[in-house]
Amino acid sequence: MGAVTEPPRKLSPHLRDRAFRWIADDVDADSRAELQGVLARALGGDGHAVADLADRMAGPLEFGTAGLRGPVRAGPNGMNTAVVVRTTAGVASWLARNAGAGPVVLGRDARHGSAAFVSAAAEVLAAAGFDVQMLPRPLPTPVLAFAVRHLGAVAGIQITASHNPPADNGYKLYDGGGAQIVPPADQEIEAAIREAPAAVSVPRAPGAGTLGEDPVDAYLARVAALPRGPARELRVAATALHGVGAETLGLALRRAGFAEPAQVAAQSAPDPDFPTVPFPNPEEPGATDLLLDLAAETGADLAIALDPDADRCALGARERDGGWRMLRGDETGVLLGAHVLSTVDDPDPLVATTIVSSSMLGKVAAARGARYAETLTGFKWLVRAGEGLVYAYEEALGLCVDPESVRDKDGIAAAVLACDLAATCRTEGRTLFDLLDELTVRHGVHLTDQVSLRMTDLAERARLMASLRAQPPTALAGTHVTAEDLSPDADVLRLWGEGLRVVLRPSGTEPKLKAYLEVTAPVPGPGELAATRRAAGSRLAALREDVDRLL
C-alpha cells in the first residue's frame, strides 16, 4: 500500500513528467492507454483527474512481509504488469543472493489481472535463470504454500488479494520453507525492487513449465488424512464467496470420507467481480447470509465459508433455538485447538496464537500439559513460534491445523478438521456450541470484539498512534489500565486491566486503525454460565464505547 498524500489542486510539472516517464517505460499497452487518459484529463484541468494521477504516482506499492496488495490500475501505486515485472526482478535478484538454485513455484487466484501477472512473473524469473513451475490452474493459496515444500522449491509466489475488495490484487511471496517472509527480507527485497530497471528494460523470456496434478493430489491426500475420529455422517453447506476454493473443498471432503457439501450456487464459481457480496470476506456483515440460508434449507449440521483464495475458514452452526449463526474467529480457533490437543500424538506439543486473539487457548493448553506461545499478528510469526508446533490460529479466521505440510493459514484443511469435530459431536448428540460451553465453564468466559477506524490519511493514522502512546488512557470500562508499548518491535500499544485487554495497531493491509478487545471472567459453575456471559457482555459493551470515544 503506497503512501497517501493530500491531493494537489493543479497538475505540477513534476507530476506530469513522472507520469510521462512511467508511460514510456510501461510494458502493457492497456495500462499505457489507461494512464494516458488520466494524464490527458489532468492536463485539461480536471481536478479529480489530477488527484487520481497524484494517487497513482504516489507509490510505489510497498513490498512488506505480506508482499504487495493494491488496486488493479496503471501507475506505480497500483497492481499492473509493469509493477509485477519490476517486483519480480527485485525478488529474483534477492533469491539469487540468498536462496541459491532450485525451482520457484507460481500460483494464482481468479481475480482481475491474475493470469497476466503470473505470466509476467514467470517470464522474469525464467530470464533470470530459475526453474519456474506454474500450478495448472487458479487454485487456493494453501495449495501453493504446500507445493513449495512438496517440490523442494526455493520460493513460491501466489498472485492473490485474498479477501480484499474486487478492485484489488496482490503478490505474495513464500520462502523455501513454505512460510511468508519476515524482516529483514522484506526490506532487502524492497531495496532490490528500487534498484531494478524500468519495466521495459527488465529481461523476460519464455520457458516456464506447467505442473500437472501431482502437487494438487498430494495436497488433497495430506488434507484427507487429517480427521482424528471415525465419524463421517455430516451434512455440510459451503460457500467459496466467488473465489477458487469450491472445487478443492469438495474434493478434500470427499477424499476424507464426507459427503459432497451443498454449495451456494450463486457463489461457487470464481467471479472477480464478487457480485453477491460488497466485501468478499466471511467476517463482513451479510457476506454469509446466503450460506446460512442454504444451511437452514438443507438441514445442514455445519456451514463453512472460505474467503476467495481459501486460506481463511469461517464456521456456522445451529444454535439451541434453531437459528444459525457464524462463529467468531476466536471461537473456531479455540474449538479446533482443543480438538488438536485432545488427539495429537506429539509428546511435547506447542500451540500458538497472536497477541490480538483470545487468551483462552493458553488456558486450554495449560490444562492439556501443552506449551503455548503468543506472537505478533500474522502467520509469518505464528509458524515460527517454536519447535513442536502442532496448531496455530489468529482471530481473523486464519487457522493452521497442519504446520508440517502448510506453514500458513489453510481454510481447506481447517474445514476438513472442523467436519471431523462436528461429525464426532453429532454421534455424541452434542453441538459445537455445547463444546464451547464446556470449554467456557472450565476456562472462563472470554469475549472478544473489534473496533476499526478507517483512515485513508496514513500520516494522520500515525499521528493518532503517537498521541495514544504519549497519553494512554488510565481507565477503561471503569477499570484501571496499564499501557505497554511494543515499539520498535511492532507498532502496537497494549492496554491491560483486571479482566480486560485492548490492543491497538494499524492494519498492515487496509487503511485502518484497529482495536482488539477482550473481556474475561471466571465461571463459578455450570449453572452460572448464562449470568456470567451476560455480565461479561455488558462489560464488553462498555469497553467498546470507551474505545470508540478514545479513537
Report residue 184: phi and psi, to 5°: -90, 10
Number of alpha carbons in the 13 Å side-chain half-sphere of residue 41: 14
Rounded to whole angstroms, what are the CA distances from 267 to 195, 289, 418? 42, 12, 21
DSSP helix/strand/coil, 533:
helix
| Distance, CA of 537 to CA of 531 (rounded, Å) | 10
- Contact between 232 and 423 under an 8 Å Cβ cutoff? The reply is yes
State the cell numbers at 403: 504446520
Q: Which residues are catalytic?
A: 162
Contacts with 162 (C-beta within 8 Å, 6 or more apart), sequence order: 69, 141, 170, 307, 308, 309, 311, 312
| Distance, CA of 67 to CA of 88 (rounded, Å) | 11
Between strands 236-239 and 262-263, the pairing is parallel
| Distance, CA of 382 to CA of 396 (rounded, Å) | 13
**Please, what's the b/e burial string for 68-79 (b: 16 or more CB within 10 A of its CB; e: otherwise)?**
bbbbbbbbbbbb
Rounded to whole angstroms, what are the CA distances from 400 to 89, 139, 288? 31, 18, 22
Q: Considering only CA atoms, which of 338, 332, 395 is closest in space to residue 365?
A: 338
- Contact between 178 and 145 under an 8 Å Cβ cutoff? The reply is yes
Radius of gyration of the chain (CA): 24
- Contact between 360 and 522 under an 8 Å Cβ cutoff? The reply is no
